[in-house]
């Protein structure tokens, strides 16, 4: 059964994870096999990409696999999993909805919405503090990490993520610089993404900013289209990144983490 990447329905995502984890043992491996895990993913694209390059992958830590990181219980459960697996690379792809700039417009429309958004941000802040602690633990044990979110996301302004940004590599990546275009209009996507990582190799490979010499197709969250064969596809920021992150090669580990 083919499960579309980007489909966030719970049962389909669980089946998709089961499929890719079952095929992991059939992939070629490096002499010294690297390991990785995705946190808060909605697509598991990077997990699949890592497997195809011979990496050992752990089941993603996400609500669909039993880890509700918006609760203390879920975070403790995830922490125990990480302590047990000790992955070489942790990729954080936490949700950006509460921190999107468009929420500023929505707040002005309704006081009720504004109150609900404040409550939601408080819940998400607890998760972000947890992410900061996990990232520091990963660096102390000489592991690698990558955090991604839209460049305009208000998440980057939160105090708990400031040290991460000041001590490590901050990279801006415009999708048009990787050749991604809308399948219908053929206009390139920009969708500037901000990456914070412990690897200078990630910074070198992914640091590409649009020179501003062309128009862009607007992409809010994700877009869907049907190809000439009638197959439905989803394009989003994570799926595009998974096709371009060359750091899944062993070269990613040729460099040491920058000290904090």
What are the structural domain ranges in the chain? Answer: 10-21+33-251
Q: Which helix (H) or strand (E) holds 235?
A: strand 232-236
- What is the rounded distance in angstroms from the CA atom of residue 230 to the CA atom of residue 220? 23
Tens-digit pLDDT profile for residues 165-215: 999 999 998 888 877 777 777 888 788 889 999 988 888 888 889 998 988
Q: Which pLDDT value is given to residue 32?
A: 65
In this prediction, residue 180 carries a pLDDT of 76
Give the per-residue pLDDT at 250: 39
- Which residues does the chain have with pLDDT short of 50? 1-8, 28-30, 246-260
Provide the pLDDT for residue 70. Answer: 94
Full-model pTM: 0.76
Q: What is residue 254's predicted lDDT score, i.e. its pLDDT?
A: 42
Upper half-sphere CA count for residue 98 (Cβ side, 13 Å): 21
Q: How far apart are CA 124 and CA 149, in angstroms?
A: 14
Mean pLDDT of the chain: 78
- Report DSSP letters for 172-233, one per residue: EE-GGGGT-B-TTT-PBB---EEEEES-HHHHHHH-B---S-S--B--SSEEEEE-TTS-EE
pLDDT computed for residue 164 by the predictor: 95
Domain 10-21+33-251 sits in CATH 2.60.120: no
Query: How many residues can be counted in the chain?
Result: 260
Tens-digit pLDDT profile for residues 219-233: 665 566 555 665 555
Residues whose CB is less than 8 angstroms from the CB of residue 172 and which lie 6 or more positions away in sequence, other chains included: 151, 192, 193, 194, 195, 207, 209
Name the DSSP letter for residue 4: -
């Amino acid at each position: 059964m083919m499960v579309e990447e980007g489909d966030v329905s719970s049962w389909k995502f669980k089946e998709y994870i089961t499929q890719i984890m079952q095929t992991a043992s059939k992939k070629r491996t490096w002499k010294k096999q690297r390991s990785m895990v995705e946190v808060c993913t909605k697509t598991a694209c990077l997990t699949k990409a890592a497997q195809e390059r011979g990496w050992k992958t752990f089941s993603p830590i996400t609500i669909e696999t039993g880890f509700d990181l918006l609760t203390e219980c879920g975070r403790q459960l995830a922490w125990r999993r990480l302590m047990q697996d000790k992955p070489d690379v942790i990729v954080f792809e936490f949700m950006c909805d509460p921190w999107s700039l468009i929420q500023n417009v929505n707040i002005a429309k309704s006081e009720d919405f504004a109150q609900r958004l404040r409550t939601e941000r408080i819940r998400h802040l607890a998760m972000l503090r947890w992410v900061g602690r996990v990232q520091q633990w990963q660096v102390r044990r000489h592991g690698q990490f990558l955090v991604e979110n839209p460049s305009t996301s208000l998440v980057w302004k939160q105090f708990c993520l400031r040290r991460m940004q000041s001590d490590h590599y901050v990279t801006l990546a415009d999708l048009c610089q990787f050749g991604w275009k809308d399948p219908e209009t053929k206009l390139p996507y920009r969708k500037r993404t901000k990456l914070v990582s412990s690897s200078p190799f990630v910074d070198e490979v992914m640091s590409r900013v649009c020179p501003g010499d062309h128009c862009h197709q607007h992409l809010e969250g994700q877009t869907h289209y049907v190809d000439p064969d009638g197959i439905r596809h989803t394009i989003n920021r994570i799926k595009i990144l998974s096709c371009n992150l060359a750091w899944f090669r062993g070269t990613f580990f040729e460099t040491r983490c920058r000290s904090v």
